[in-house]
Amino acid sequence: MKTPMIKTRFAPSPTGYLHLGNVRTALFNALLARHEGGRFVLRIEDTDPERSRPEYVAALLEDLRWLGLDWQEGPEIEGPCAPYSQSERAAIYAEYYQRLEASGQVYPCFCTPAELALSRKVQRAAGRPPRYAGTCAKLTASEQQARRDRGVMPTLRFRTPPGRPVEFTDLVRGPQRFVSDDIGDFIIRRADGSPQFFFANAVDDALMGITQVLRGEDHLTNTPRQLLLLDVLRLPAPEYGHLALIVGTDGGPLSKREGDLSLRELRAAGYLPEALLNYLARLGHHYEQDVWMEPAELAFGFATAHLGRAPARYDEAQLLHWQAEAVRHASPERLWAWMGSAVHEQVASAHREDFVATVRPNIRFPAEAAFWAERLFGSAELILSADSRAVIIQAGSKFFTQALAAYAEHGADYQSLVDALKQQTGLKGKNLFMPLRAALTGETHGPELARILALLPLNSVRQRLETASWPEKWCG
């Protein structure tokens, strides 16, 4: 028998912007499909008209594309299972509701939210887990009609078969066992006629031929309901894998300060998509090697067997590490574009390439590139960091007079300049380079000094060395 093509999906509800958590879900599903040479489907779960917004749909398509998580079926590109927005699939759901109604596996429920809340409260007080008490399960046709005549709009409830174990092997958590009696009858259509999550999500996975579903473990308790539904509808069920949630360093839910940022915010801060991909692909999933990987390599090494059950802890230091790697691996053209207008305005086109090469190892964000652009091509007068000031004082004015003379003779020929200065001063290593760096950049850390010297305008070098040789000019 031919094994079916692997098909995964990302099924966001467009009720907000994508955050690290749901981006990771999208990524894992996309990587799994790519690893298997399958298809990645994007489905918009916009059945909640109150909370779903078209602008969020547009934003999430843009965000996924920015990340390079292109879908092979879904909005805008369509495909054999269109439409890919649940709000456009009402006719499909109607057909499956009808089937369930015809076979008596569902019934209208007229209980009001207040009645249901009270029932849950009573059950909890009695130490029982709350589930639907079955109030409307046995209404006769005339009792139903009487309620309809009173204008009560019913929900539609699934008649959960009693005494049935529901078992499945979770791709992440291994064998799972639930008992249908713990579930109770559940709503599959709201009173306003819109489909409930369990139903639309399960039916669509089946009709779209989804073979694997990776989703947050907050959905784990939904899975037995969905399996019962699919079973009754005689639709195929996907394999499910429930991902451990991302938590903050304290083990609690992610906070705004700690990683609960939208992709838009991260992008605006200058994060590169590959940094997020390298970081997120390792958050709750491990690779044999902890080295930088291109997106295709991330897919190549992805395996559901490498998904962890322990909560995935957000670690900003790791994210910054992958950001630095992403900067290191980006093409010069891309990095230049990423640096943005503050850099573009400051750096002449003749220096573009050298500037990018010079600052690349020392920056993680465009603001840092802008800082170095200003230091190199901005005012010759420097604001010195406290450390630089101390280093310059320590070196003494004579050192800088000698440096000026060496510069006059050798110009930006770094090696000759340094050799000459070494000879004259008898200094070497840190004692030689640090004062030069401090005087030329105002900082004690930064890009390679030889490159800085080559890029700095002559006047700036002269003026900065001169200033350093007259401590009263800047000490006062």
Binding site for ligand GLU (CB under 6 A): 11-13, 45, 201, 213, 215, 219
On whether the CB atoms of residues 65 and 58 are closer than 8 A, the answer is: no
Q: How far is the CB of 12 from ligand GLU (least distance, A)?
A: 5
Q: Which residues contact 17 (CB under 8 A, 6 or more apart)?
A: 56, 59, 60, 63, 262, 263, 264
Give the residue carrying structure tokens 């950049």. Answer: 441
- Torsion angle of C-alpha atoms 16, 19, 24, 30, degrees rounded to 10: 50
Q: How far is the CB of 141 from ligand GLU (least distance, A)?
A: 35
Tell me the three state secondary structure of residue 138: coil
Q: How far is the CB of 248 from ligand GLU (least distance, A)?
A: 20
415 vs 476: CA distance, rounded Å: 33
Q: Helices in 340-396 by DSSP H: which ranges?
A: 341-346, 352-359, 366-377, 386-395
Shorter beta-carbon distance to ligand GLU: residue 87 or 201: 201
Q: How far lies 291's CA from each of 279, 298, 303, 320, 325, in Å?
A: 11, 10, 17, 14, 9
Given the DSSP bridges, would you call strands 155-158 and 186-189 parallel, antiparallel or unpaired? antiparallel
Tokens of 442: 């105002």
9 vs 61: CA distance, rounded Å: 14
Q: Cα-flanking dihedrals φ and ψ of residue 14, to 5°?
A: -80, 65
Q: Cα-flanking dihedrals φ and ψ of residue 210, to 5°?
A: -70, 130
Given the DSSP bridges, would you call strands 7-10 and 39-42 parallel, antiparallel or unpaired? parallel
Q: How far is the CB of 25 from ligand GLU (least distance, A)?
A: 7
Shorter beta-carbon distance to ligand GLU: residue 172 or 406: 172
286 vs 31: CA distance, rounded Å: 13
Shorter beta-carbon distance to ligand GLU: residue 198 or 377: 198
Shorter beta-carbon distance to ligand GLU: residue 11 or 32: 11
408 vs 412: CA distance, rounded Å: 9
Shorter beta-carbon distance to ligand GLU: residue 59 or 376: 59
Shorter beta-carbon distance to ligand GLU: residue 240 or 365: 240
Estimate the share of the chain in helix, then strand, then coil, as percent rounded to the nearest 5.
50, 10, 35
Shorter beta-carbon distance to ligand GLU: residue 217 or 374: 217
Tokens of 40: 């990645």
Shorter beta-carbon distance to ligand GLU: residue 136 or 227: 227
Shorter beta-carbon distance to ligand GLU: residue 41 or 455: 41
Given the DSSP bridges, would you call strands 186-189 and 212-216 parallel, antiparallel or unpaired? unpaired
DSSP character for 262? B
Q: How far is the CB of 214 from ligand GLU (least distance, A)?
A: 8
- Which neighbouring-strand residues pair with 155? 109
Shorter beta-carbon distance to ligand GLU: residue 264 or 360: 264
Q: How far is the CB of 34 from ligand GLU (least distance, A)?
A: 18
Signed CA dihedral, 457, 459, 465, 471: sign only = negative
Q: Which residues contact 174 (CB under 8 A, 6 or more apart)?
A: none
Shorter beta-carbon distance to ligand GLU: residue 241 or 435: 241
Given the DSSP bridges, would you call strands 212-216 and 239-243 parallel, antiparallel or unpaired? parallel
